[in-house]
Amino acid sequence: MSRPAPGVHRLGDHGVNFYLIEDSDGLILIDAGVPADLGELRALLSGLGRSPADIRAVLLTHGHLDHTGLAHALQEAGADIWIHERDAAILRDGPLSANRHAKPARSMLPYLLRRPSAIALPLRLARAGAFTAPAVRNAKVFDDDRVLDDVPGAPRAVMVPGHTPGSTAYLFADRGLLFTGDALVTVDGFVGRTGPAIVSRGFTHDSRAALASLDRLDELTAGLLLPGHGEPFADGIRTATRQARQFGVR
């Protein structure tokens, strides 16, 4: 765990991030890790004098299983689960449905042949229960860019499709924070990238759309980018998107 900004806690491991935000109106989670992360989340909440029941909302950047693993448990504890309507079917049908609803542009096999060590990520996710997490029904959905007035801090949901059809970034403008999920990451272990990038085609539904969504991020203002994979990035949105475009599609 770390605190990349005041009132913001980064959880997960070196491969996958999710974040807890403290707000005067309640707690918010950005993404939901994997089932094995529940102990870490409980320990953090206990240290804050809180419990999972104090989390009011879970904002999912997309429906992939490495970002939704605790959603069912937190929904049962009372949290509202939010996701773009284009990814809601992945939640509803369970973690293994992602290939049906948002099939990647390319097989993982060429990446594994080039970098056999990359198999460590899916194996780690399997051990963490990501592939068998319960489906999530009755999530709250939105269909366009909008301010989520019902969520503490009133973040703005910004559509950034490509990685999945419903990929979404969340902007907390008053705090200068932009949570990019997998629309813009700073680590991609499948291609050995450290630095801003879109995720490789082995895990991205539409890479051309993902690159186009970087233009959408350029329209926003935030001092700190918090991605779904890799370290926070504090050198500016346009610097991050420029580096991601230069790295290109892999």
* Residue position matching structure tokens 């059809």: 165
Q: How is residue 182 written in tokens?
A: 């997998």
Tens of pLDDT, residues 169-223: 999 999 999 999 999 999 999 999 999 999 999 999 999 999 999 999 999 999 9
pTM (predicted TM-score): 0.97
DSSP 201-239: TTT-S-HHHHHHHHHHHHT---SEEEESSS--B-S-HHH
- Report the domain count for the chain: 1
> CA 60, 70, 33: angle at the middle one, nearest 5?
65
Tens of pLDDT, residues 224-249: 999 999 999 999 999 999 999 999 99
Tens of pLDDT, residues 123-148: 999 999 999 999 999 999 999 999 99
Contacts of 13 (CB under 8 A, 6+ apart): 124
Output the domain CATH number for residue 16.
3.60.15.10
pLDDT of res. 50: 97
Of the chain, the percentage scoring pLDDT greater than 70 comes to 100
Q: How is residue 220 written in tokens?
A: 């926003």
Domain that includes residue 31, residue range = 2-247
Report long-range pairs for 46-51 (Cβ below 8 Å, ≥24 apart). 48/22, 51/77
pLDDT of res. 13: 86
Tens of pLDDT, residues 17-59: 999 999 999 999 999 999 999 999 999 999 999 999 999 999 9
pLDDT of res. 15: 82
**14 pLDDT more than 90:** no
The answer to whether 177 and 232 have CB atoms below 8 angstroms apart is: no
213: helix, strand or coil: helix
Identify which of 150, 166, 163, 231 has the alpha carbon closest to the alpha carbon of residue 199: 163
d(CA 208, CA 193): 19
Q: What mean pLDDT is reported for the chain?
A: 97
